[in-house]
Amino acid sequence: MRCMTLARALARRGTECAFVESRAAAPLLRRFGWPGLTLLAISDAKDLDGLLAYAAHVADLFKPGVIVVDHYGVGQALEARLRVDGRRLAVIDDLADRSHACDLLADPGYGRKTEAYRGLIPDDAAVLTGPAYALVRPEFAAARGRALSRRAKHMPVKRALISLGLTDLGGHTARLVRLILPALGSVRLDVVVGADAPSLPELTELAAADRRLHLSVDSDEMASLMADADIAIGAGGSSVWERAVVGLPSATVVLAANQRPMSERLVGAGMALAADVEAAGFEERLLEIWDSLVADSGLRWRLTERASELCDGHGAERLADAVLRL
């Protein structure tokens, strides 16, 4: 999703973009792609080495000036196979745990410093760090003013959102909805998942039985849903920045180890409330956060102010300009 956001920003600048992806990503790319997508190449490779070989083959045919790599399993050795024939390589990372053969590295993580990549990338590579480079779709920036103005009125909570990502990593969405429903009261609950989400069958049954629950599948209206929500439960990945742009007070659920460090930094800075799905007492902690968000308008406004200051939603434009400078 974040690469499609970057591709849109590049396309607006007259750049042709191609995607090389695994078959698992094909439904998302086809569902959320855009008119003018030059090439969508889906690999049947069963491993990362095969996917990179296919990417190198497509690059030989497409002849890109820049290749963007966004994959936690790819590092210097595999990237070097793509950085040939004068091509430049841009890498999106947020772990700073491996070496890269790149000309540009972007890490949108909060609190990340350039020094974290010293010795991991070539000395002449450009490094762009922080939420100013978060890849957020332009519709979130477009909804920002409306959302912040409404939140400044300090109205009671009438609408909530649960979205842990379209893929529903770990199938936790239904579990969280079951947890929250007894505490929901008269609040409307919007729940968003993808068509292949493990939770979808159970969520469909829950929505049919409870009029407060509104289920959206493969929604392309996330910006509006987040702008209209008063509080949310969301994942600890890149959707953190979508919620930040519209100042949505949230409980951030840490679903994977790579989400933990940034979530801890955000909590430490008083910019977020978080619960780790792997931690003991996770459900009790999440309910505690939910009750606090519902009851405390002052808390909601503090989170709105601090989160919206972090990210303005124009990171894709900044990164696209940096990529084109290569």
Q: Per-residue pLDDT tens for 215-258?
A: 999 998 999 999 999 999 999 988 999 999 999 999 999 999 88
- Under the banding of pLDDT at 50, 70 and 90, the label for residue 263 is very high
Instruction: Sheet with 159-163: list strands edge to edge.
Output: 213-217, 188-193, 159-163, 231-235, 250-254, 273-276
For the stretch 130-160, pLDDT in tens is: 999 999 999 999 999 999 999 999 999 999 9
* Beta carbons within 10 angstroms of residue 161's beta carbon: 24
- Under the banding of pLDDT at 50, 70 and 90, the label for residue 322 is very high
Task: Decide if pLDDT at 37 tops 80.
Answer: no
Q: Look at residue 169 in the predicted model and tell me its pLDDT.
A: 87
For the stretch 39-79, pLDDT in tens is: 889 999 999 999 999 999 999 999 999 999 999 999 999 99
Helix axes 138-151, 297-310, angle to 10 degrees: 150
User: What value does the mean pLDDT take over residues 21-40?
Assistant: 80
Q: What is the dihedral of CA 142, 315, 26, 216, to 10 degrees?
A: -30
Cβ neighbours of residue 246 closer than 8 Å, sequence gap 6 or more: 140, 143, 144, 147, 148, 223, 226, 227, 308
CB 276 within 8 A of CB 282: yes
User: What value does the mean pLDDT take over residues 173-200?
Assistant: 97
Q: How far apart are CA 128 and CA 105, in angstroms?
A: 6
Q: Comparing C-alpha atoms, which of 102, 135, 131 is closest to residue 117?
A: 102
How many percent of the chain have pLDDT more than 70?
Answer: 99
Question: Is the four-CA dihedral 60, 64, 69, 75 of positive or negative sign?
Answer: positive
Helix axes 173-180, 200-209, angle to 10 degrees: 30
Q: How far apart are CA 137 and CA 301, in angstroms?
A: 24
CB 96 within 8 A of CB 112: yes
Domain spans in the chain, listed from the N-terminal domain onward: 2-135+313-325, 138-310
Which residue did the predictor score with more confidence, 269 or 117?
A: 117
Q: How far apart are CA 91 and CA 326, in angstroms?
A: 12
Which residues pair with residue 273 across a beta bridge?
Answer: 251
Dig out the tokens for 66 from the structure.
Answer: 């820049």
Instruction: Give whichever of 5-9, 30-34, 319-323 has the largest mean pLDDT.
Output: 319-323
Q: Do 2-135+313-325 and 138-310 fold alike per CATH?
A: yes
Q: How far apart are CA 63 and CA 42, in angstroms?
A: 17
Q: Look at residue 323 in the predicted model and tell me its pLDDT.
A: 98
**Model-level pTM greater than 0.75?**
yes
User: Does domain 138-310 bear CATH number 3.40.50.2000?
Assistant: yes
**Residue 185: Cβ-neighbour burial (10 angstroms; 0-12, 13-18, 19+):** exposed
Q: How far is CA 118 from CA 2, 100, 183, in A?
A: 25, 11, 48
Q: Look at residue 35 in the predicted model and tell me its pLDDT.
A: 66
Q: Look at residue 195 in the predicted model and tell me its pLDDT.
A: 92
Q: Look at residue 295 in the predicted model and tell me its pLDDT.
A: 98
How many percent of the chain have pLDDT more than 90?
Answer: 87
Which option is the CATH number for 2-135+313-325: 3.40.50.11190, 3.40.50.300, 3.30.9.10, 1.10.3720.10? 3.40.50.11190
| List of E strands, the chain | 18-22, 39-43, 66-69, 88-92, 104-107, 126-129, 159-163, 188-193, 213-217, 231-235, 250-254, 273-276
